[in-house]
Amino acid sequence: MIGINTAILPYGQGIGFAIPVSSARRIIGDLMTFGKVKKVFTGLTLQEINDRLAEHLEIPRKGVLVTEVAQDSNADGIGISPGDVIVSVNGKGIDGIGSFNDQISRFRVGESVELGVHRKGAVKLVSLILSEIPNSGKRGAAMAEKNRLGLGLADLNGATRDEFNIQVTSGVVVTAIRSGSLGDEIGLKPGDVIQTINRVPVTSAAELDEVLKRLPSGGRIILGVIRGTVGNLVLIAVP
């Protein structure tokens, strides 16, 4: 067996879709062991490499560029740094983020993968133990109890991007909503990204929380919110 069918096109003769059997084994193993599927976390934020970027930075054309490493992650612990290029996973060449994710998705939380890391003209092999995506929900719930709008907030980084499947690269992530709060009433949801307040960019959860604390009662603010790939301006009357 090489795969498991997941869908068939009724109007396309002989055309179907399947997931690799290696991925199916991982999913089944997680369900049997943990009762749920645990998504692995590398701690890395990556960027595709094009010809101009490769020439300018003098890095390999094939691979993925590390742009951010989550603090205190396993990748941070083994010394991977922004500017490194991941060129292989367990000896298999990487030609983009898609192929990197495909290779990583074959492994389970707690397993180790060997990464080929290019730095300053040389490739070094390092072992990375895959961890589970950190859950920001508990921290967010505690913040939401105190936050003026009832929002749990977190910085936008590799961990929160993976946890909430976020595509944008700037802003602050809503991780929890206090039931019955103003944030709940206006329809904000965990995974929303607040990028601006009164059209001024916000760059950290601490900064946004402090701004919300200083707002005068009875005033109005406009939040620039991204949900998925759609942006909205949300008008709020401050209690």
Mean of pLDDT values over 112-141? 84
Domain ranges of the chain: 38-132, 137-237
Q: Which CATH class is domain 38-132?
A: mainly beta
In the chain, the N- to C-terminal Cα span, in Å, equals 60
Q: What is the pLDDT of residue 6?
A: 47
More confident: 29 or 169 = 169
**What are 59-70's pLDDT values in tens digits?**
999 999 998 888
Q: What residues form DSSP beta bridges with 236?
A: 221
More confident: 93 or 4 = 93
Q: How confident is the model at residue 5 (pLDDT cuts 50, 70, 90)?
A: very low
Q: What is the pLDDT of residue 17?
A: 45
Question: How many Cα neighbours within 13 Å face the side chain of 150?
Answer: 16
Mean of pLDDT values over 69-76? 87
Q: Residues 80, 42: contact at Cβ < 8 Å?
A: no
**What are 13-34's pLDDT values in tens digits?**
454 444 555 555 555 655 566 5
Q: What pTM, to 2 d.p., does this model score?
A: 0.57
Q: Under CATH, which number does the domain 137-237 receive?
A: 2.30.42.10
d(CA 65, CA 118): 9
pLDDT above 90 coverage of the chain, percent: 37
More confident: 202 or 108 = 202
More confident: 144 or 224 = 224
Q: What is the pLDDT of residue 46?
A: 87
Q: What is the pLDDT of residue 38?
A: 65
Mean of pLDDT values over 51-65? 93
Q: What is the pLDDT of residue 7?
A: 44
Q: What is the pLDDT of residue 209?
A: 85
Identical fold at 38-132 and 137-237? yes
Q: Residues 150, 239: contact at Cβ < 8 Å?
A: no
More confident: 137 or 192 = 192
d(CA 143, CA 190): 13
